[in-house]
Structure 1
Amino acid sequence: MAVDIDLHCQDLVRRFGSHTAVNQVSLEIPAGSFFSILGPSGCGKTTLLRLLAGFDRPDSGDIMIRGQRMNDVAPNHRPVNMVFQHLALFPTMSVGDNIAYGLKRRKVPTAERQRRIAEVLEQVGLAGMETRLPQQLSGGQRQRVALARCLVLKPTLLLLDEPLGALDLKLRDQMKVELKNLQKAFGTTFVYITHDQSEALVMSDRVAVMRDGRFDQVASPEALYREPATPFVASFVGDNNRLGGKLLARDGELAQVALADGRSVSGRLADSGHHPTPKIGDRAELFIRPESLVLGAAEPGHCTLTARVRATLFDGANSRVEVEAAGERCYVRLPQDGSVPAPQEGSSVTLAWEPQLARVFAAEAS
């Protein structure tokens, strides 16, 4: 069955002098999906969003929205709206007037305008608040007004530039759920920019991990977490432990890495086509998630490594033990049921893991 594509970008490039901020980026976003672009500061994600919005133009490549080329189309003529980090609500206008602003500029008749405002306020859970000013609302309510102001215009794409960045932690967690639910309710395609991996993993249908102007990997949140395509994705998405050394041997998809202290560990060789596969003797890196490590006796076939306990970090359900293994700082998640007591600082412990749960990559050039 054919899939409707709301956004198609082909080989987008944007340079600023000698710096290439967006470097040969291509992507397709199906209609009605929640797509996030995740990356550290300076990776090019905001520049890419500005290209999509029309605030900037690519040096080369094409932007297609619903099959129409947008490269030379002005921002106000694109079927796109944008929610900024600081929301940009008009402080002296009521909620209703803030939402009506775009409709008035489009000369929507008064009766239709009022109907659409009432409808969108109902959908975002703010019915009856038309006359309130922004400063009379909570942070989450102001966030929903900013969304309603865009969604009332029925854009093909809604671009969101780190809109939760100014909220406190609890409200951010609440808004992640609300944004995901609102996107599904409206069916509008969301393109969401963030440096926060939790936001991207919780809300998105697909995520592009961006670095140095390029996409390292585009995949579902689960695939990014469980099957990272590059060492950068493995280290950037979720918590991960890294052990460096040289590739000692391989048996099918399993690889053995000799660590700097002479010991060896095993994991599954990454062979995604996104990153070079190491050869015997090459520098290699093994990544293993904290929750995949077990303290104590190993099951048959598991890999083991002796480590020294540095500290126990109590964080409720996310409590961890910090250890030093082969000169690297690593973390082990403690079971929530208390079945494994926290080891004493300075003691020696055994780390065990199933080799299939670890990923081995060719080491990236430093």
Structure 2
Amino acid sequence: MSSDLYCTDLVRRFGEHRAVDQVSLDVPAGSFFSILGPSGCGKTTLLRLLAGFDRPDSGDIFIRDQRMNTVPPNKRPVNMVFQHLALFPTMSVADNIGYGLKRRKVAAAERRKKTERVLEQVGLPGLGDRMPQQLSGGQRQRVALARCLVLEPTLLLLDEPLGALDLKLREQMKVELKHLQKAFGTTFVYITHDQSEALVMSDRVAVMRNGRFDQVAAPDVLYREPATPFVASFVGDNNRLDGEVLGVDNERVRLRLDTGGEVSGRPSSALAVGQRASLFIRPESMLIGADLPASFSRIETQLSTTLFDGANSRIETRLGERELFARLPQDGSVGDLQPGTTVSLGWEPQRATVFAEAQV
């Protein structure tokens, strides 16, 4: 598969600080690629390098095999959508969308034709004469996308564009963005600190920390097979248990917990007997109750509270100083649990991942 974006060993320094540190990426044509990470991890700096607003200290950026390091922003086949949409309030929707075409000296009749077509594509037919303030937040978001997509860029860079929307609209726009990207076939490079956005919309996700990528993979692989403790803790909810390695056999690690007892999980890498290690297990992979298969790992915890959230309801328990969460079954089969009750939690060892003791 051909690549619309290919970068090798990008570095951007600010004094002694490396905001982007030896980053390489390969984004296939027509894909939705997200860069996920906490504030300050370097993702916005990386996006600025791709857009041409900043230059790398070393490394290379290629868009469709053309080296872009010294190409100015207005000469790159790239457009960018920001969190603050910056629509022109005194221009109509159609004029906002057609602004870039006008700057390119596209004839008025052709501008009108392209604008009407892209309005249809983003689900806003007939709204070209309205002013931005007459539209809902979601509609303004689509106008901002249309303004970029009408220019037919190779890459569309999106800098946390849903951050200013309320929760319900943000959930709606996640689905719409995914559908729009597939409909246009434009390569999207999307940065966010919101794991749900990245997991729902993306074909591949890069998890960034301290200027580097910890892991680049499909969303389901990131979730089920995290490569580092940081990815395990940052992507989705995870329970963590610390202890010492008792043995490694048949791709299974046995761990003596600091709180007592023995549990098992699959190793993320080579581990040695006596080594400190951390086991991560998702709440939905934990089963509740004493009647669990003999092959399961199990621990005894004390119930703190029940957290009702519809189908995602769960319990919070304590094991030593650790808070642990387990998903409640929807059939209510665990009965009426009361705070202070001893609760057995268990899991299939292959559903848990064991790392050398996590420093996250």
TM-score, normalised to structure 1, is 0.97
Is the 1:4–1:31 contact (alpha carbons within 8 Å) kept by the matching residues of 2? yes
Paired AA for residue 286 in structure 1: L
Contiguous gaps of at least 5 residues in structure 1 = 272-276
Give the counterpart of 2:175 among 174, 177, 180: 177
Query: What secondary structure is seen at the aligned counterpart in 1 of 2:128?
Result: coil
Q: 1:170 aligns to what SS in structure 2?
A: helix
RMSD (Å), alpha carbons:
0.9
Question: Separation in 2 of the partners of 1:65 and 1:191?
Answer: 12
Q: Is the 8 Å Cα contact of residues 321 and 342 (structure 1) preserved in structure 2?
A: no
1:330 partnered with 2:324: yes
Which residue is 2:90 aligned to? Answer: 92
- The correspondence of residues 202-351 of structure 1 with structure 2, limited to 5 A, is 202-271=200-269, 277-296=270-289, 297-351=291-345
Deviation at 1:320, TM superposition (A): 0.9
Partner SS for 1:99: helix
Q: Distance in 2 between matches of 1:94 and 1:219?
A: 41
Deviations 1:2-24 (A, max 9, x none): x1110000000000011100000
Q: Which runs of 4+ in 1 moved over 4 A?
A: none
Partner of 1:354: 348
Q: Summarize deviations over 1:217-240 as a string: whole Å, max 9, x none.
A: 000000000010001000100110
**Aligned match of 2:50:** 52
**One-letter identity of the residue aligned with 2:288:** L
1:258-295 C-alpha deviation (Å, 9 max, x unpaired) = 11123221111113xxxxx3321111000000000011
The one-letter code sitting in structure 1 at the alignment partner of 2:272 is K
Residue number in structure 2 paired with 1:146: 144
Please tell me whether the aligned partners of residues 38 and 45 of structure 1 are also in contact (alpha carbons under 8 angstroms).
yes
Provide the rounded CA distance (Å) in 1 between the counterparts of 2:196 and 2:339: 30
Do 1:243 and 1:326's aligned partners in 2 also have CA atoms closer than 8 Å? Answer: no
Which deviations, in whole Å up to 9, do the C-alpha atoms of 1:325-363 show, x marking residues without a partner? 243110000012222224110110111111110000111
Alpha-carbon deviations, 1:137-191, whole Å to 9, x = none?
Answer: 0000000000000000000000000000000111011000000000000000000
Query: Are positions 1:159 and 2:175 aligned together?
Result: no
Matches of 2:329 and 2:85 in 1, distance apart? 40
Residue pair 2:239, 2:324 contacting (<8 A) in 1 also: yes
Q: What is the rounded CA distance, in whole Å, between the counterparts of 2:185 and 2:18 in structure 1?
A: 34
TM-score, normalised relative to structure 2: 0.98
Which amino acid counterpart does residue 174 of structure 2 have in structure 1?
Answer: K
Among 108, 111, 114, which residue is 1:113 paired with? 111
Aligned to 1:118, what secondary structure does the other structure show? helix
State which of 173, 188, 191 in structure 1 corresponds to 2:189: 191
Which blocks of at least 5 consecutive residues in structure 2 are unaligned? Answer: none
Amino acid across the alignment from 2:78 = V
Q: Deviations over 1:53-86 (max 9, x none)?
A: 0000000000000000000000000000000001
**Residue 318 of structure 1 aligns to a residue in which SS?**
coil
In 2, distance between residues paired with 1:283 and 1:365?
Answer: 11
CA shift, 1:248, in A, is 1.5
Deviations 1:17-70 (A, max 9, x none): 111000000010000000000000000000000000000000000000000000
SS in 1 for 2:70: coil
Counterpart code for 2:90: T
Helix, strand or coil: the match of 2:30? coil
CA–CA distance in 1 between the matches of 2:292 and 2:320?
A: 19
CA contact (8 A) 1:53 1:159 kept: yes
Residue 169 of structure 1 aligns to which amino acid in structure 2?
A: L
Distance 2:177 2:305 in 1: 37
